[in-house]
Amino acid sequence: MSFSSFPQASSLSHVLSPLGWDDAWAAEFTPYAEQGLVPGRVVRVDRGQCDVMTEDGIVRADTAFVTPHDPLRVICTGDWAAVEAAGIPRYVKAYLPRRTAFVRSTSSQRSEGQILAANVDHAIIAVSLAVELDLGRIERFLALAWESGAQPLVVLTKTDLVPDPATLAHLVQDVETTAPGVQVLTVSSLTGEGTDILSAVVAGGTSVLLGVSGAGKSTLANTLLGADVMEVQEAREVDGKGRHTTTTRNLLALPGGGVLIDTPGLRGVGLWDAEAGVGQVFSEIEEYAERCRFHDCAHEAEPGCAVLAAVASGELPERRLDSYRKLLRENQRIVAKTDARLRSEIRRDWRIKSAEGRANYAAKRGGRA
């Protein structure tokens, strides 16, 4: 993949400022500068190495020094890295504390989180109008986006496939109800509809492009970039799903300002300790809950439940309450599994240390004897 869209000047501020470098990052980097390291932003990670944009352009660096056992602490696209100034190979020695981080749970049985992108300002959730809307999936993406610290934005793609204005307006209204407090844009990469508004939104800061395969992310990325940088494949007509044309997370400079992180299509969008994000997505339910008779109301069958009253009156769609309950239960399960894993690791470490202590004590006694 080409990184020709990045500036190649020698001035540090001139090169890195378009990628988000500012005075606050410079202050954070001071201790590393004193060690002779140079700053750069990670634009791609694969197989223990990463491409980093520095004042000298793109450099290939090894991540062996920042590969801990905790998968949430591995270096990822969007990180600001401290890189060796020279050497073959060059190593990333550290990365700066993240301002935001988009994390999902993995599909493994180890209850681990996977970080998808770091230091993101806007989380763009691409949703294709070529297939029936899955409002539950949108709510799931939104919960993770809010939890990350980024500002979510829902982009309905392929609007050219919905020529009836009334039908399109109905679909937009459904999504707006699902995404309170979130801007919803309609975009067609074919006709150019809405792309100027989206370009203006992403011109400031870093945006990550999220969605399932077939949502039109790569086409949308090419539209924003003004060039066919990302490979595009047709989605299947039967279900609108596409193959993974993007296989790594890539950070790309946008011609109108800002940067875009394109991600592979996500098959699964598991929550990862996202209680606050779920609450933000279903803010109207939490507002009703404040009026419940009991502060610990489960909104199941309790007397004086304002949430159930809102459902009964038609103010709150029952689907929203069902989705809220589902995501809360899922989040509680992953948190419980994570806590259990941590407790298990602590007990294991304690057993190892206890065994070592007993062995040392026995050896001392044997020595005195």
Our CA angle for 269, 139, 229, nearest 5°, is 60
Amino acid at 312: A
Is the pLDDT reported for residue 368 higher than 60? Answer: no
Compute the distance between CA of residue 356 and CA of residue 343 in angstroms, rounded to an integer: 20
Amino acid at 5: S
What's the pLDDT score for residue 266?
67
Is the pLDDT reported for residue 187 higher than 80? Answer: yes
What's the pLDDT score for residue 336?
75
Amino acid at 320: R
Amino acid at 24: A
- Taking Cα atoms as reference points, which of 279, 294, 290, 291 lies closest to residue 324? 279
pTM comes to 0.81
Is the pLDDT reported for residue 60 higher than 50? Answer: yes
For the ranges 51-60, 235-244, 335-344, the lowest mean pLDDT is seen at: 235-244
Could you tell me which residue, 149 or 334, shows the higher pLDDT?
A: 149
Is the pLDDT reported for residue 54 higher than 60? Answer: yes
Average pLDDT of the chain to the nearest whole number: 84
Estimate the crossing angle of helix 165-178 against helix 135-148, to 10 degrees. 50
What's the pLDDT score for residue 176?
95
What's the pLDDT score for residue 19?
92
Q: Count other Cβ atoms within 10 Å, centred on residue 31.
A: 11
Q: What is the mean pLDDT of residues 118-128?
A: 95
What's the pLDDT score for residue 263?
82
Is the pLDDT reported for residue 247 higher than 80? Answer: no
CA-based torsion, 149, 153, 158, 164: positive or negative: positive
SS3 per-residue string spanning 184-197: EEECCCCCCCCHHH
Could you tell me which residue, 130 or 213, shows the higher pLDDT?
A: 130
Beta strands 206-210 and 259-262, pairing class: parallel
pLDDT per position as a tens digit, 8-33? 434 455 689 999 999 999 999 999 99
Contact 122, 153 (CB under 8 A): yes
What's the pLDDT score for residue 198?
93
Is the pLDDT reported for residue 363 higher than 80? Answer: no
